[in-house]
């Protein structure tokens, strides 16, 4: 399952120096006690800047980073029913697979074809997606990693020498040239850029 907001891995920079790295909640609390200027926090998966609200106490900061609890069941208005609940019949069918419901828009002929597949439309779509992922060969993850790296570079290295050449090499998957263009950059920026470019950026 995807990491929750509190445990999302991230890295904080002050100027060109990396000053904190780890789960978002830990980084936020570390920044609460720092006086470093020009702090920016980046998502280790997407390279995007994370805006943190560091007002209040440590407990308040942590609470803001926690997802809202799921609503519980409505209270039973009948106290007798709560004390003597009706027996639950065991549900038949397959166990839940942790699937998530979202809207998909298709043409009528697509729905007709999916409905005729074994297991129905949802099962057929899952099989198609898994087959496409196997055939992808990691290309989607590699592209996402390059995009994550570029987001970070745009925020932190846009004015550094060789930025445009480094960006072109990054998207050309020419990692030797990319690394060479970064050779004169600050150590922490160079190291984090290479980390993002090499790490799959899947949620």
The pLDDT, as a whole number, for residue 7 is: 83
Encode pLDDT of 82-109 as tens digits. 555 555 665 555 555 667 788 888 888 8
b (16+ CB within 10 A) / e for 64-85: bbeeeeeeeeeeeeeeeeeeee
Compute CA distances 182 → 136, 150, 168, whole Å. Answer: 29, 13, 12
* Chain center to CA of 13: 19
Question: What is the C-alpha separation between 45 and 195, in angstroms, rounded?
Answer: 10
- Residue ranges of the chain with pLDDT lower than 70? 1-4, 67-98, 136-137, 199-203
pTM of the model: 0.70
> What is the CA angle 157-188-148, rounded to 5?
55
Encode pLDDT of 167-185 as tens digits. 999 999 999 999 999 999 9
């Amino acid at each position: 399952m995807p990491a929750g907001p509190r445990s999302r891995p991230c890295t904080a920079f002050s100027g060109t120096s990396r000053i904190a790295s780890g789960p978002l909640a830990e980084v936020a609390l570390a920044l609460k006690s720092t006086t470093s200027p020009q702090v920016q926090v980046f998502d280790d998966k997407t390279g995007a800047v994370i805006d943190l609200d560091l007002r209040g106490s440590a407990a308040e900061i942590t609470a803001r980073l926690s997802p809202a609890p799921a609503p519980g069941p409505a209270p039973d208005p009948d106290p007798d029913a709560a004390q003597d609940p009706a027996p639950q019949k065991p549900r038949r069918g397959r166990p839940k697979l942790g699937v998530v419901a979202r809207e998909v828009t298709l043409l009528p002929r697509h729905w007709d074809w999916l409905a005729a597949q074994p297991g129905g439309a949802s099962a057929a779509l899952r099989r198609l997606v898994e087959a496409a992922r196997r055939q992808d060969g990691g290309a989607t993850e590699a592209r996402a990693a390059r995009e994550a790296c570029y987001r970070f570079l745009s925020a932190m290295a846009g004015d550094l020498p060789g930025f445009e050449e480094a960006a072109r090499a990054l998207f050309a998957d020419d990692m030797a040239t990319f690394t060479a263009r970064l050779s004169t950059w600050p150590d922490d920026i160079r190291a984090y850029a290479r980390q993002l470019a090499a790490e799959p950026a899947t949620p």
